[in-house]
A = this chain, B = another copy of it.
Amino acid sequence: MDKDDESDRQSGGIQSLDAALKLLSAMGGYLRPMSLSELARDCGMPPSKVHRYLTSFLNAGLVVQAGKSGKYDLGEGAIALGLAALARHDFVNRASDALPELCLESGLTVLLSVWGTHGATVVRWERAATPTVTSMGLGTILPLLNSATGRAFLTWAPPAPLQAIREAELRAARKASSTVNSQLRTEQDIERMTETFRMRGFSSVEGRFIPGLVAIAAPILDWQGRAQCVITLIGTDPAVTEPGSDAVRKLIGFCEKLSFSPIITG
């Protein structure tokens, strides 16, 4: 039949659907109601075809016929669809809805953090049944280098916004060798650490930020693999930080489920 299929011929789809969607997106392109013949002309389809498609869109509520002029325009259904799609990108909300569940399953205190202007910021948290003494609350800002949460951002977030704080903390770490100091002194140290985290799929810290407590953290990634937010589990048992531990598996499972790209790229 067609010697050489014209343009896009992606395999597998449905021709009439493809055409219909082309029409639909064409309608998205204008910002006023369009008459049938205008649409037909612009899409290079016979009017009868366009009319049949429009009827289906009409039934589905994606398109409405404006006024009695009979012109066609995008309708409520299209708005609803778009808002639903927008909501998918709302990682924080989807994650916080599921937070209590993770808390119950793991039996640990759970934090949900995002990257704010001043660093990793706790925006949601769920306290475990066995209350662990923490001074943590909503709005707490966690250190970048010495908290599991911060380290997760360090590993999976785009570096640019972190730069300032990263440098500041590194400088502070070098000077104050008196403190319970991290082994993190140089850029190389950091590189090595994040590489490990990236492989394992989670970051961790042991009693550094809060003595006596351990924490593990994993990112929720958008479709470009950037951390949108970070989930942290806090406990007392050092075994928690072991790769393959129950808590680790639950944490990564949780984050993987909410992420749009795989956390462990093996």
- Which A residues fall within an 8 A CB radius of B? 8, 10-14, 16-18, 20-22, 24-25, 27-29, 31-33, 51-53, 55-62, 64, 66-69, 73-90, 92-94, 100, 114, 116-118, 121, 123, 127, 131-135, 137-141, 176, 178, 180, 210-212, 223, 229, 256-262
Whether the Cβ atoms of B53 and A211 lie closer than 8 Å is no
Asked if B79 contacts A31 (CB within 8 A), the reply is no
Number of copies: 2
- Of B24, B66, B84, B135, which one neighbours A74 at CB under 8 angstroms? B84
Contacting pair B56 A88 (CB below 8 A)? no
Minimum Cβ distance to chain B for residue A63 (Å)? 9
Whether B86 pairs with A139 at a CB distance below 8 angstroms is yes
* CB atoms of B261 and A67 under 8 A apart: yes
Residue of A12, A21, A77, A135 with highest tally of chain B CB at under 10 A: A135
Distance, CA A14 to CA B50, complexed state (A): 11
Cα A97 to Cα B80 in complex, Å, equals 22
With a cutoff of 8 Å between Cβ atoms, the chain B residues found around residue A22 in the complex are 60
Other than the given A14-B56, A90-B141, A127-B178, 13 more pairs (CB < 8 A) read: A12-B51, A14-B55, A17-B20, A17-B56, A25-B81, A74-B85, A82-B84, A83-B121, A84-B116, A89-B137, A89-B138, A121-B133, A123-B210
- CB contact between A118 and one of B51, B52, B133, B262 (< 8 Å): that residue: B133
